[in-house]
Amino acid sequence: MSDETEDGAYPARGRAVRGANSREYVARMRATLAPLASQQPSARWAFELIARGKAKNGRSLTHEARRVVLDAVLSPAGRACVEDAQGSERTRLLALYEAAARERGAGVAMPRSREPGEDDEERDFEGTEGKEATHAQR
């Protein structure tokens, strides 16, 4: 006997279903969720939303939605999106990232470049002026 109703939905909460047990439900949930396990989290959706500037229905983003989008773009996942992009896509994402960083304010880490040699310049670390910084100080 099937656990589903005629339209394929699960029965209402608290309703007894003959022949059903929790192991069957858990097995079905795991089978349904299995394809999602191989996906990596990404903040690309936030870049697309901030570029569009409006919700899919054409309305302006609410304050809370804008805050969430900025959080996602400026998160480590957002920086990874920019760092992993190539060519014109990287330029577009970097411009969106920089605009989000300006809107949010100071203290935002900028993405690293993936171009060889661009980020290889030496930096002065506190207390190392005039001498080579050790690996431990970096």
pLDDT in tens, 18-66: 556 788 888 888 999 888 887 776 889 999 999 998 888 889 989 999 9
Instruction: For 88-120, write each residue's pLDDT tens digit.
Output: 999 999 999 989 988 887 566 666 666 655 555
Is 31 a domain residue? no
Instruction: For 61-92, write each residue's pLDDT tens digit.
Output: 899 999 999 999 999 889 889 988 899 999 99
Considering only CA atoms, which of 49, 109, 105, 50 is closest in space to residue 83?
109
Is 35 a domain residue? no
Is 87 a domain residue? yes
Q: Give the Cα separation of 48 and 69 in Å (integer).
A: 10
Is 65 a domain residue? yes
Query: What is the total count of domains within the chain?
Result: 1
Q: Domain range for residue 91?
A: 44-104
Is 30 a domain residue? no
Residue 134 confidence class, pLDDT cut points 50, 70, 90: very low
Is 17 a domain residue? no
Is 94 a domain residue? yes
Is 23 a domain residue? no
Q: Is the pLDDT of residue 127 over 90?
A: no
Kindly list the distances between the CA atom of residue 134 and the CA atoms of 106, 117, 118, in Å, as whole numbers in the listed order: 29, 20, 21
